[in-house]
């Protein structure tokens, strides 16, 4: 198997109020692999993702990126974050910047590229997410699907070692979900390393190489995408059943 890009060992997070959101989660993400994290609401999926790029500090465990531990107080968070892309449920585009500027912001101010270099890179990634004709639009004038694709482009432009998707389609109207999922699928096919938190079970099964099922802050089941068809634990069976009812 190819090398491990991201390794999570015994990750724990207890929020200040005392909520034990994550209680010892471990899994590895290999080069070129796409991992889907599924689980019911409140099971700690977002918490895991946010610990990985240190938007929140884990209270225990070890996270390694490319073989070095990144959750130490001494580590340079800004440098780490620029190596990990993040796509949010609510897009979080910079409303005062045009599409192109949203994508180039990190390139120019984190990577230190000139405007022309950054524009070139940005145009390439915007082409990959099929948004070339909207580069001069403000986010406020885009559809939800377009917004999420800009957000993906913004993360992609930084050439991250791994991209984290936190329910990228949950805030979208059903008819807009398709374009975003198609974009993500395209990236998976290109061999991008990614972790996707999603409620789209079918999408997870089709796209992900591996599934991690979280329940109450613990990994309840883990395996190739085929486990969705044959869940071993009763809990996951019930979870999948409830998801199917919804659709």
Partner 1 sequence: MNSRRVGVERIFSWSALDEKTRVGIIVSVFLLVAISPAVGQSIETGWDIAESGVDSNLNAAAVHGNETWVFGDGGVMLSSSDEGMTWSAMNSDTTADLISADSAYDSMAVLDSTGSVLMKQGLDADWTNIGSPGEGMVDLVLIGQNSLILVGVDGAIWRYSASNWQEIETQFTENLNDISFLDENNGIACGENGTLLFTTNGGISWNYREAPTGSSDSNLISVGYYNPYRLYAASSDGQILSSTTTSAQNWNLVEIESEGYNTSLDENLKSIEVVSASIILFAGPDNYLGVSLDGGNIVEHNIIPDGINTSFNDHAMIDYQKGIVVGNQGVILLTDSSGKNDLVGFEIPDYGNFGEFSEYADDMMLDGFKATVKIVGFGILFGFLIGVILAMFKTAPTNLKGLVEGRPNGIVRTLGGGLAAVGLYLFWEGVSGFSELGLDGIEYIFTPVGDPRGFAMFGLGIALTLLGLLFLSNNGKFSKIEIGRVTLNPWKIRPLNSIATLYTDFFRNTPLIVQFMFIHFGLSLGMEIQDAYESVFGDMGVDGFDYWLLGESAFISAIFTLGLNSGAYQCETIRGAIAAIPSGQMEAGRSIGLTYMGTMKLVIMPQAIRICIPPIGNEMVNLVLNSSLAMVIGYAELSRQGRLIIAVTFQIFWAWGMVMISYFVVTWTLALLLRRLEEKTKIPGLGISGGA
- Tell me how far, at minimum, the Cβ of 78 lies from partner 1, in Å: 5
From 38-46, 52-60, 132-140, 232-240, give the range in contact with Mg ion by CB under 5 A: 38-46
- 115 contact choice in ligand ATP, partner 1, Mg ion, none (CB below 5 to 8 Å, kind-dependent): none
- Distance, in Å, from the CA atom of 51 to the CA atom of 136, rounded to the nearest integer, reads 34
Closest to ligand ATP by CB, 45 vs 210, is: 45
- Distance, in Å, from the CA atom of 240 to the CA atom of 226, rounded to the nearest integer, reads 13
Binding status of residue 47 toward ligand ATP by CB under 6 A:
yes
Closest to partner 1 by CB, 54 vs 216, is: 54
- Distance, in Å, from the CA atom of 205 to the CA atom of 226, rounded to the nearest integer, reads 7
Contact 77, 54 (CB under 8 A): yes
Three-class DSSP category at 8: strand
| Residue 27 Cα to chain centre, angstroms | 15
| DSSP, res 246 | H
Binding status of residue 43 toward ligand ATP by CB under 6 A:
yes
Closest to ligand ATP by CB, 27 vs 128, is: 27
* DSSP assignments along 14-79, one per residue: E-TTS-EEEEEEEEEEETT-EEEEE--TTSSHHHHHHHHTTSS--SEEEEEETTEE--STTS-HHH
Closest to ligand ATP by CB, 150 vs 214, is: 214
Q: What's the number of CA atoms in the CB half-sphere (13 Å) around residue 189?
A: 8
Residue window 11-30: x/- pattern of binding to ligand ATP, with contact defined by CB under 6 A: ----x-x-x-x---------
| Residue 173 Cα to chain centre, angstroms | 20
- Distance, in Å, from the CA atom of 148 to the CA atom of 161, rounded to the nearest integer, reads 20
Binding status of residue 168 toward partner 1 by CB under 8 A:
no
Q: Which position among 13, 21, 36, 46 is part of the footprint of Mg ion (CB under 5 A)?
A: 46
Closest to Mg ion by CB, 104 vs 198, is: 198
- Tell me how far, at minimum, the Cβ of 175 lies from partner 1, in Å: 20
From 36-44, 117-125, 174-182, 204-212, give the range in contact with ligand ATP by CB under 6 A: 36-44
- Tell me how far, at minimum, the Cβ of 186 lies from ligand ATP, in Å: 25
Q: Which position among 25, 33, 38, 45 is part of the footprint of ligand ATP (CB under 6 A)?
A: 45
Q: Which residues bind Mg ion (CB under 5 A)?
A: 46
């Amino acid at each position: 198997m190819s090398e491990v890009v991201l390794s999570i060992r015994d990750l724990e997070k207890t929020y200040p109020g005392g909520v034990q959101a994550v209680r010892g989660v471990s899994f590895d993400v290999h080069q070129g692999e796409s991992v889907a994290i599924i689980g019911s609401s409140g099971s700690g999926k977002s918490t895991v993702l946010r610990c990985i790029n240190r938007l929140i500090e884990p209270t225990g465990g070890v996270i390694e990126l490319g073989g070095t531990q990144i959750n130490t107080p001494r580590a340079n968070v800004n440098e780490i974050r620029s190596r990990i892309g993040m796509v949010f449920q609510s897009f979080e585009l910079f409303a005062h910047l045009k599409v192109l500027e949203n994508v180039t912001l990190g390139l120019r101010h984190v990577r230190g590229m000139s405007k022309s270099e950054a524009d070139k890179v940005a145009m390439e990634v915007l082409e990959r997410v099929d948004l070339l004709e909207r580069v001069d639009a403000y986010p406020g004038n885009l559809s939800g699907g377009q917004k999420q694709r800009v957000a993906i482009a913004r993360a992609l432009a930084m050439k991250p070692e791994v991209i984290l998707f936190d329910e990228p389609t949950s805030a979208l109207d059903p008819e807009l979900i398709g374009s975003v999922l198609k974009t993500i699928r395209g990236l998976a096919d290109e061999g991008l390393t990614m972790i996707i938190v999603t409620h789209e079970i079918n999408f997870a099964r089709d796209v992900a190489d591996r599934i991690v099922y979280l329940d109450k802050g613990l990994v309840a089941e883990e395996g190739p995408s085929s486990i969705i068809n044959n869940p071993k634990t009763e809990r996951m069976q019930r979870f999948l059943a409830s998801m199917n009812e919804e659709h």
